[in-house]
Amino acid sequence: MAQGLIEALTQALQRLPGVGPKSARRMAFHLLVRDRDGGRRLGQVLLEAMERIGRCSQCRNLTEQDICAVCSSPRRDHSLLCVVESPADVQAIDQASGFQGLYYVLHGHLSPLDGIGPEELELDRLTARLGSGEVHELILATNPTVEGEATAHYIAELARERGIRSTRIAHGVPMGGDLEFVDGGTLRQALLGRRDYGA
Amino acid sequence: MAQGLIEALTQALQRLPGVGPKSARRMAFHLLVRDRDGGRRLGQVLLEAMERIGRCSQCRNLTEQDICAVCSSPRRDHSLLCVVESPADVQAIDQASGFQGLYYVLHGHLSPLDGIGPEELELDRLTARLGSGEVHELILATNPTVEGEATAHYIAELARERGIRSTRIAHGVPMGGDLEFVDGGTLRQALLGRRDYGA
Ligand SMILES: [Zn+2]
Ligand SMILES: [Zn+2]
């Protein structure tokens, strides 16, 4: 049936975040009418990626290897460990900041109401990592949300018990932002975190 | 390489219309972290659709068959032929309007500046169809654009030469629209196309 496969494609495209029925239909027709090569390429890469990309055995980030390129790099500072919630955070920090330490990806945050506790986040893996003696500073880069803060707090305690220094990324007014459009909570954090000018 | 396949997936997703680097990355991570089944399903359906969906030998609409479900339906009025620019137009008209005739999909419009003439649109196929004696009315449902109007004009002439009546879909104020936000060209068409009230 004609409707069958086109409809199936339209449905499957809606598994993509932010894609509703209308844009899914537009995408399906675009590929079928104008870009079959693009459609074939996307199909192949999707199957290959879903099959071959797993999690790094050390940092839990997405990788095709057992140990990812970041963890296995000798040029990285292995005494600095930056904890983030998602692989997207690793990419954002690595592309923007020149950070040269290692990462640890939680794949989420503590959220008791959703039944996500330390076990669901496999925090025993992180605990074992902290016990190895290699990490000297743990940078808490979870999101500035209630759950992210609670998760940072919990993990800082794990570090403290092992005598490891933990730091939290700074919160404040975004660069290039206009003060009047910054929300109150951020402004409060920006004022609390103020530093000597010119220091 | 970890970056390799994730990057390849992010690139491939940008072949979808309306998807830039940022949303492509978000889509890739979403599938890899949260919805591998969805990613696999989309990959399979894409490959199958690109492989198996072709064009109906009668109406040129997308279909998995040689002749599509609309063209082969005995319940359709085969004397009414509605000419549209794209498969999306067929779907829109068929879902919304209760139209029970057949379609003919041009897959574009005449556009001399882009080198798209009657041959590029394979209008000889439509001419042959008009010569079969089956079509009594040709409904011109090309888009209300300069190119769509020129295309409608050209095809109406083909019909006229064969003694077939051709009609144009009405242009006017969209239902539920607010007059003050309707553009001037549409308002002019709406006034020119006015009818007796209550008739
Ligand atoms: Zn790693
Ligand atoms: Zn057909």
The 8-class DSSP code of residue A63 comes to E
Please state, rounded to an integer, the average pLDDT across all residues of chain A.
89
CATH code, domain with B39: 1.10.8.420
Averaged pLDDT for residues B170-181: 76
What gap in Å lies between CA B188 and CA B173, rounded to an integer? 10
Same domain membership, residue B82 and residue B21: no
pLDDT score of B198: 59
pLDDT score of A198: 59
ipTM of the complex in this document: 0.80
CATH code, domain with A80: 3.40.1360.10
What gap in Å lies between CA B26 and CA B9, rounded to an integer? 11
Looking at B36, B52, B68, the residue that finishes a domain is: B52
Same domain membership, residue B92 and residue B38: no
pLDDT score of B70: 95
| A residues 70-89 closer than 8 Å to B (CB) | 86-88
> What are the two backbone dihedrals, phi and then psi, of residue B41, each rounded to the nearest 5 degrees?
-60, -45
What's at B168, amino acid-wise?
Answer: R
Same domain membership, residue A39 and residue A83: no
Q: How far is A52 from chain B (nearest CA, A)?
A: 9
Averaged pLDDT for residues A174-180: 74
pLDDT class of A75 with cuts at 50, 70, 90: very high
Averaged pLDDT for residues A83-101: 86
pLDDT score of B1: 38
pLDDT score of A138: 93
pLDDT beyond 80 at A3: no
What gap in Å lies between CA A148 and CA A131, rounded to an integer? 23
pLDDT beyond 80 at A181: no
pLDDT score of A135: 95
pLDDT beyond 60 at B3: no
Which residue has better confidence, B109 or B176?
A: B109
Q: Which residues are found with C-beta within 5 Å of the ion, ligand 2?
A: B 56, 58-59, 68, 71
Task: Classify residue A85: in a domain, yes or no.
Answer: yes
Segment B44-96, tens digit of pLDDT: 999 999 999 999 999 999 999 999 999 999 999 999 999 999 998 898 888 87
**Whole-prediction pTM:** 0.78
Q: Which of A91-100, B28-37, B116-125 has the lowest mean pLDDT?
A: A91-100
Query: Cα of A190 to ligand 1 centre, how many Å?
Result: 33
In chain B, how many domains are there?
A: 2
Same domain membership, residue B80 and residue B47: no
Which residue has better confidence, A13 or A88?
A: A13
What gap in Å lies between CA A101 and CA B103, rounded to an integer? 62
pLDDT beyond 80 at A141: yes
Owning domain of residue A107: 76-168
The torsion angle over the Cα atoms of residues A128, B35, A53 and A148, rounded to 10 degrees, is -40
Structure tokens at A73: 């790099």
Which residue has better confidence, B168 or B60?
A: B60
What gap in Å lies between CA B99 and CA B86, rounded to an integer? 16
pLDDT score of A192: 76
Averaged pLDDT for residues A106-115: 93
Same domain membership, residue B154 and residue B92: yes
The answer to whether B64 contacts A2, with C-beta atoms less than 8 Å apart, is yes
Q: Report the candidate in B140, B172, B174 with the shortest Cα–Cα distance to residue B158.
A: B140
- For chain A, give the percent of residues with pLDDT over 90: 68
> 3-state secondary structure string, chain B?
CHHHHHHHHHHHHCCCCCCCHHHHHHHHHHHHHHCHHHHHHHHHHHHHHHHHCEECCCCCCEECCCCCCCCCCCCCEEEEEEEECCHHHHHHHHHHCCCCEEEEECCCCCEHHHCECCCCCCHHHHHHHHCCCCCCEEEECCCCCHHHHHHHHHHHHHHHHCCCEEEECCCCCCCCCCHHHCCHHHHHHHHHCCCCCCC
Same domain membership, residue A140 and residue A92: yes
Same domain membership, residue A85 and residue A19: no
Task: Classify residue B64: in a domain, yes or no.
Answer: no
Residue B170: burial class (beta carbons within 10 Å; 0-12, 13-18, 19+) = exposed
pLDDT beyond 70 at B196: no
pLDDT beyond 50 at A69: yes
pLDDT beyond 90 at A188: no
Same domain membership, residue A101 and residue A154: yes
| B residues 12-41 closer than 8 Å to A (CB) | 12-13, 15-18, 23, 25-33, 35-36, 38-41
pLDDT beyond 80 at B181: no
pLDDT score of B2: 41
Same domain membership, residue A122 and residue A38: no
Residue in A closest to B70 by C-alpha: A2
Which of the residues B1, B5, B23, B57 would you substitute to probe the A interface, choosing the one with the greatest number of A C-beta atoms within 10 Å?
A: B5
What gap in Å lies between CA B185 and CA B199, rounded to an integer? 25
The 8-class DSSP code of residue A127 comes to H
